[in-house]
Amino acid sequence: MAIAHIQQSIEGVTKFFAQHPDRARATDGCSRGQLRQIVEWAEAHSPVGDALRRAIPSSMEIEFA
């Protein structure tokens, strides 16, 4: 996949969520079990995975400017 295509895709998603901010928020939360699985996967596959365990937020929000 070309870098230009990836960049265009990201710009398209950013534009969409800027125009529809209500669609950018997830309606279902992430359970503790799901977070634990994510952290365990990160610890196994990332050289900085152990840092994630010390910095897990209670909630996460992504905002597009």
Is 47 part of a structural domain of the chain?
yes
Please report where in the chains the tokens 């534009």 appear, as a residue: 15
- Which pLDDT score is estimated for 52? 54
- Which pLDDT score is estimated for 31? 79
> Model-level pTM?
0.39
The residue range of the domain holding 47 is 3-53
Is 63 part of a structural domain of the chain?
no
Q: List all residues 6 or more positions away from 24 whose beta carbon is below 8 Å from its beta carbon.
A: 17, 62, 63, 64
> How many structural domains is the chain composed of?
1
- Which pLDDT score is estimated for 63? 72
Is 61 part of a structural domain of the chain?
no
Is 62 part of a structural domain of the chain?
no
In this structure, the chain runs to a length of 65
Alpha carbon 8 to its chain centroid, in Å, reads: 19
Is 37 part of a structural domain of the chain?
yes
Is 58 part of a structural domain of the chain?
no
Is 59 part of a structural domain of the chain?
no
**Digitized pLDDT (tens) for each residue of the chain, 65 residues in all:** 578 888 888 888 888 888 988 887 776 777 788 878 877 877 777 665 555 556 666 666 677 76
